[in-house]
């Protein structure tokens, strides 16, 4: 079954909601390190499922289908995707319940840094990456 634009946007909404809930819990300061690690794990699963779909879209696109500004838009989206995926993997490896317990201030700073990039990423994917994928038929509308 082909991935749809609607599905990807729905997943973005779920990712943003989970990220915002995690940041709110971090900022309020009363959640235990275990609770924060569980919220991070839940977010990681949602992100992983979404990234797997995006990987399939990227792998399935033949750049010869693109022309003009679509080539640059696609490359910009793909490059940003690779950077964020790498940073996200490093973040997840660095922060488990014990690491959060040992350095709440560091976790808070790192969480705000990586999760603060989400709105820009969502906007880039919607504006450039998904628009290009729709244009080439790599994803459907619904």
* Domain-embedded: residue 141: no
Summarize the chain as % helix, strand, coil (round to 5): 85, 0, 15
| Residue 77's CATH number | 1.20.120
Structurally, the chain folds into a number of domains equal to: 1
Q: What pLDDT, on the 0 to 100 scale, is given for residue 14? A: 92
pLDDT tens-digit profile of 93-129? 999 999 999 999 999 999 999 999 887 777 777 777 7
Look at the block and give the residue holding tokens 């696609």: 74
* Domain-embedded: residue 129: yes
* Domain-embedded: residue 80: yes
Name the residue range of residue 117's domain: 5-136
Alpha-carbon torsion (137, 70, 17, 113), positive or negative: positive
Distances (CA, A) of 80 to 5, 87, 113, 114: 19, 11, 15, 13
Closest Cα partner for 17 from 38, 48, 42, 37? 42
* Domain-embedded: residue 58: yes
Q: How far is CA 80 from the centre of its chain?
A: 10
Q: What pLDDT, on the 0 to 100 scale, is given for residue 1? A: 62
* Domain-embedded: residue 47: yes
Closest Cα partner for 36 from 89, 90, 96, 94? 96
- 140: which strand partners? 4
* Domain-embedded: residue 49: yes
Look at the block and give the residue holding tokens 């909404």: 13
pLDDT tens-digit profile of 41-94? 999 999 999 888 888 887 777 777 777 777 777 777 778 778 888 999 999 999
């Amino acid at each position: 079954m082909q991935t749809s634009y609607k599905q990807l946007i729905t997943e973005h909404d779920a990712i943003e909601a989970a990220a915002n809930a995690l940041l709110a819990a971090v900022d309020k300061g009363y959640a235990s390190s275990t609770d924060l690690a569980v919220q991070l794990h839940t977010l990681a699963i949602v992100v992983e499922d979404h990234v797997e779909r995006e990987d399939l879209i990227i792998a399935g696109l033949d750049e010869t289908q693109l022309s003009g500004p679509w080539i640059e838009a696609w490359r910009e989206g793909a490059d940003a995707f690779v950077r964020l995926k790498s940073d996200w993997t490093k973040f997840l490896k660095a922060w488990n319940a014990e690491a959060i317990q040992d350095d709440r201030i560091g976790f808070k700073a790192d969480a705000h840094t990586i999760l603060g990039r989400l709105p820009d990423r969502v906007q880039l994917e919607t504006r450039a990456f998904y628009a290009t994928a729709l244009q080439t038929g790599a994803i459907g509308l619904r």
